[in-house]
Amino acid sequence: MSIDRRQFLRGLGGTLLLPLLPSALPRSAWASDPEAAKRFLAFYVPNGIQSVGWTPDREGANFDLKPILTPLAALQNRCRVISGLRNDPARPDGPGDHAAGTGSFLTAAHCYKTEGAGIRNGISLDQLIANQLGSDYRFKSMALASEGGGNAGGCDSGYSCAYSRNISWIDESTPAPRETRPRLLFNRLFGSATVQLSAEARARKELQRRSMLDYLLTDAQALQRRLGVDDQAKLDQYLTAVRELERQMDFSQNQVCAPGSAPGEPTDLTAQVRQMLDLLVLAFQCDLTPVATYMLGNAGSNRPMPHLGIAEGHHTLSHHQNDQGMINQLIQIATWELEQVAYLLNRLAAIPDGQGNLLDNTLVFFSSEVEDGNRHRHHNLPVLLAGGEGIGLSQGTHDRVAETTPIANLFVAIARQMGLETESFGDSNGIVSL
């Protein structure tokens, strides 16, 4: 009889008093799981990428690596660069290219311009996949970022901060909650210091949390009978969030992956980014989620890069007006961004999974909200796919598609590669061959 790997993990968690180290049971040894879990990750960087330092001259296999892509040299046969894709729905109503482009980054839907009420976007690709694949996991999906800020107010020429600070959208009006602090993410994933507690102490904490959940549900359900239609709708959303918390608690009781120590305070941006990426990899390794998004920065981020010796803000530099000195600094920033991508890919490739490794079974999508921050164009976007060979991807090429090809056509292809029976998405009018 074939036993599902995640059912096996959850069953073990109910019989062991101590957590099972991943090294004690390598995934490659699970003969009962011939088909490893599929995973999807979207990696976003702000302010576009200089095409002169990105786009290969040659198409097909053995394509040339421009300076920005050189960090991927050792992984070139596991990556695919796609040129020519466009995201027309990301074009704003007037100014606001960064917010509109970031809001549309994974939705390929047009964002309604507002700084307050009436936010309207579309479901994002990651959430479409999570709805299909995530029900057997503690977290259907995870939204991570390395720059903070809330969703209230306006952030870009009349566009809500919700568009500027989120690429993962549960539905047309609801961005997925995101985590920006490594230590809090660790606590969310692994229960903070509870992993160090005795079985009796953990049980006591669990009883306290469940008692509070039961109280909240009972109180809310009593209140629901006295509310009007609009208030009931809001309360329904609240109850859904409470039930999701309860579902996550059920999974946490059977968690058998030992996470090690919580991360300390990062010393600089690179350290903070790598802490988040390490935790993302650990969440995949521990089968906590099959889907994640990561924002290295918010839309139009104007962070300086002192670790690179760059004092000028990134967004300010992106309006380079063809100044070669500014362009050189932008290429330096983008090269550093690809170094973080290479770090992530190498971490995934080093962890056994199924008959291969995590990178084999993870489809990684990388891009930005615009092509070039100076021109704010939403066509010829910088697109990179990596990994996923274990789920049927062919890698190691530079492909150039027709300039009229919507990026939504790629999203349809990705969804189908992940096992969804998707015929259309956003403004798609076909499918990109993978």
Structural domains of the chain in order of their starting residue, each with its CATH number: 5-182+263-417 (3.40.720)
φ and ψ at 308, to 5 degrees? Answer: -105, 0
**Residue 366 forms beta bridges with which residues?**
43, 384
The yes-or-no verdict on residue 32 having pLDDT over 50 is no
Tokens 């991508």 sit on residue: 341
| Angular region, 354: left φ>0, alpha ψ -120 to 50, beta rest | left
The yes-or-no verdict on residue 4 having pLDDT over 60 is no
pLDDT digits (tens, 9 = 90+) for 84-131: 999 999 999 999 999 999 999 999 999 999 998 899 999 999 999 999
b/e map of 103-128 (b: 16 or more CB within 10 Å)? bbbbbbbbbbbebeeebebbbbbbbb
pTM exceeds cut of 0.85: no
pLDDT band at 195 (very low <50, low <70, confident <90, very high): very low
pLDDT of 93: 97
- Are 4 and 33 contacting, i.e. CB atoms less than 8 angstroms apart? yes
CA atoms within 13 A on the CB side of 427: 17
pLDDT digits (tens, 9 = 90+) for 302-319: 999 999 999 999 999 999
- Are 124 and 163 contacting, i.e. CB atoms less than 8 angstroms apart? no
pLDDT of 255: 47
pLDDT of 261: 86
Q: Where does 3-153 show beta strands of DSSP type E?
A: 39-45, 60-61, 79-83, 142-145
CA distances from 75 to 213, 225, 410 (A): 47, 58, 22
Please state, in angstroms and rounded to a whole number, the distance separating the CA atoms of residues 337 and 155: 23
Please state, in angstroms and rounded to a whole number, the distance separating the CA atoms of residues 361 and 393: 10
Query: Residue 222: CB partners within 8 Å, gap ≥ 6?
Result: none
| Angular region, 228: left φ>0, alpha ψ -120 to 50, beta rest | beta
pLDDT digits (tens, 9 = 90+) for 160-171: 999 999 999 999
25 is written with which tokens? 């049971």
Please state, in angstroms and rounded to a whole number, the distance separating the CA atoms of residues 217 and 223: 10
pLDDT digits (tens, 9 = 90+) for 217-258: 676 677 666 777 667 666 666 666 665 555 555 544 444 577
